[in-house]
Structure 1
Amino acid sequence: MKKTALFIASIFAASVLLQPAVTYAAQQKKTASASKKSTAKTRKRAAAPRRAVKKSRSKAAARNQDDNTAQKKGLENQQKALQQQIGKLQRDISLKQAKQQKEASAAKSAQSALTLSNKKLQQLTAEQKQKQNQIASIKKESGRVTNRLENTRRDIATNARIQYLYSKKKPWEVLVSGSTPAEIHRGNAILDYLAERHQKRANNLEVTKVQLKNQEQKTTAQAKNIAANAATEQQSNQKLAADQKLHQDNTKKLERQIASQKQQVAELKKDQQRLSALIQQINAAIAAQEHARQKKLEEERLARKKAAEERARQLALAKKKAAQQGKPAPKAPARVEEPPEPAPAPSLSGNFAKLRGRMPMPVSGTVEGRYGQNRNGIGKWQGLFIRAQEGSAVKAIAAGRVVYSGNLRGFGNLIILDHGSGYLSVYAYNSALLKGNGSSVSAGETIARSGSGAIGDTPGLYFEIRYKGHTINPSSWVR
């Protein structure tokens, strides 16, 4: 009993003696905890500006990357459109070359036919001249026959008159004349012979005259037929000459068109090369940004790892020191977690599609080139050409961000707006650009001044709307 009382008394005394130490340890623990909390708050407050700066830089980097990506996509779509346009021009050139060969062949055939026609026409002209000479000869011969016939008829008349007078003589007149009966008989026989001979000659001349008349009529008919053939051949010759000239003109016209389109193809290829170079630059910029971002992330990861290792080393040293001093081992300080890397926010709200049919025209003017219509033989319009006075205000059809602002061969001074959700609006051939890359614009804000170049020197604006790189008909979007 006495031992028990002594044991209880000793425990009580020890508790009384140890109470200040325990109280001191508790106070030290409480102070350390408060210090840790204060340090954590201080670290958190100190880290807040760094996180804000980091977050701001991340957002800026994300926006730059979005801009470059959108710019790259837009340029790649333009490059694809250029390739399609070049392909169409080359196909059109091939068709025109085939047509040119056909026209040249037709011109050659027309030339051959014209040569034959000229020969035939010369032959008909010679035949016509020959027939005319024959007719002249026949007429001349007919005149001679007519003269001979008239002379013969006069001889017949003279002989008949002599016979008549001879037959009317009285017998006593015959006796008085001193002619013998034999002489009289012989004279009558001669007169009869001459009369018969003259009559035969007259008959022959009459037949000859009729034959000459028939020959003249036949030759005249032949000459008329030859003249008709010559006239027909002359008409055919003129038509062949006109056809030949037409084919030659078409050949020359096609040659000029082919030369012009070849020049356009060469210019478009140069445009494509410039566009490819620009896309390569954008790719390089995107790659450099991504490399810098990855490098920064790696540096931050290594810094965090090094800081964690340093904290662990400091904690180990503190524990070792506490153990040597017989103090409780310190606990690891509360770790301030870094916020996760913010995901890039979408550039716009994505309400562009809801504005369909309610957006205004980008410039005041008259639409002279519509989506899908032929564009002066070099493809089809991929957007609208709006004729407007040079220097007119070009306004954004909706809120967006400028992803490209500069001069691009084949598009002049070009500005492209990103409206989010894959929608882009394109404004080309401007005389002045009023917004730069990365600029945010509101609906109706003036972004450029219209120029010329889409159709020769005609002033106006070329305008496109694209969705995910593909052109769409702007007529159903703007009014």
Structure 2
Amino acid sequence: MVCANEEAKEKQQQLEKIQQQILARQAVLDKTQSELNQVEKSVAKTDRKIGQTSRILKQTEDELQRVKAQLNELKKQKSELESTRDQQLDILSAQVKSAYHVGRNDYLKLLLNQDSPAKLERVISYYQYLNKARMQAIENLKVTLQALQKTEQLLNKNQLRLAELIKVEAEKQAQLVALKKQQQAQIKQLAAVIVSESQRIENLKQNENALTRALEALAEAIDNLPQQVEFNGLAEIKGRLLWPVKGRVQNIFGRQKSGQLKWKGVRIDADSGDVVNNVHAGQVIFSDWLKGYGLVIVVEHGDGYMSLYGHNQALLKDVGDMVHSGEPIALVGQSGGQSRPGLYFEIRHQGQPLDPTDWCN
């Protein structure tokens, strides 16, 4: 177990190192285009801020739902305990009244007036039963009152947490609105810098080449890293993968993108903030911003297969995380200078792009 943990830690550290090397290499390439580079740096900075804010907001909203569910359950428990308490008070009240009426007949006189041992035994048994029942009723009531007090304390604690979360949510939503306005301004600025078709094609080519080199570096690294978990790839489930997000598939794989460039993935129209789900079990091997693709997450599925998710608003997983099929890994956005929200999605095998429409159902 210790060995496996050490190997997993070593793999994560090496993946993080490779990710930093990819980002550093990208920064060197960017130096050749000063004006465009300055705008893209601003875009990257804003995209990352949006990603961090959105991730915190998503975590806050998830916790809000959990706290609200707990509050509802605690309110239900409180209601049930109050009902139990009222019933126990009624029982105890009846027993006290009964004891009072018997007591008025003078317990000692009742004992002395019995003319047979059998009657005497019945009177003693009755008094013992009354006393025992009353003591048990008091004990039951005590337990109920303690449980009720504990539930009320938890209720108060959760209500305070709920108020705190609502405040954080409002703050993060306001930050997100401001950052998105900033993002829109930078997208316009980016479009103003790339004015000609030739500039656009050259920029797209550089972005695509940078992505290809990044994925090649990741693939090479995976081959040389110790494997904590062996994944079986995607070959056996071809055509049965779920799409990572619901929406209309645009920019069909293989069609002309610009100039001689062709689409190596697909773009799925979706609303900003929609959840992006992992298509199959694997490990996150990249989770950061990439030129032209914005906030990107790459999942390795074993046997040379990878899936890539780009232009996200937020990345919910980090390098080294194991992810299940259908697990949320990102939120749809328009990072990387996109004019509208949507998800860029690729599947690759041994570095070669595959048509996602052949693999997803």
TM-score by length of 1: 0.38
Which has more radius of gyration?
A: 1
Richer in helix (by share): 1
Higher relative contact order (CA 8 A, sep 6+): 2
